[in-house]
Amino acid sequence: MPTRVHEFSWPDRVVIGTIGLPGARTFYLQVRAGAQIVSIALEKQQSAVLAEKIDEMLDQLITVDGNPFSVPTRTPIELVDDDPLEPPLEQFRTGAMTLDWDPTTAQIVVEAYPLTDDDTEDDEPLDGIGTKETEMMLVRMPVGTARAFAKRTREIVGAGRPLCPRCGYPMDADGHECTLPEV
Mean pLDDT computed over every residue of the chain:
86
Could you give the 3-state DSSP secondary structure of residue 156?
A: helix
What is the biggest distance separating any 2 CA atoms in the chain, rounded to whole angstroms? 56
Global pTM reads: 0.81
Q: Which residues, other chains included, contact 163 with Cβ-Cβ below 8 Å and sequence gap of 6+?
A: 169, 170, 171
Q: What is the pLDDT of residues 146-169, one digit of tens each?
A: 999 999 999 999 988 777 887 777
The 10s digit of each residue's pLDDT in 110-160 is 999 998 665 554 444 444 445 454 899 999 999 999 999 999 999 999 988
Supply the pLDDT for residue 125.
43
The pLDDT assigned to 183 comes to 60
Q: Do the strands 94-102 and 4-8 form a parallel or antiparallel pair, or are they unpaired?
A: unpaired
The answer to whether residue 107 scores a pLDDT higher than 50 is: yes
Cβ(19)–Cβ(29) below 8 Å: no
In degrees and rounded to multiples of 5, residue 134 shows phi and psi of -115, -20
d(CA 10, CA 16): 17
Q: Which pLDDT band, with edges at 50, 70 and 90, does 80 fall under?
A: very high
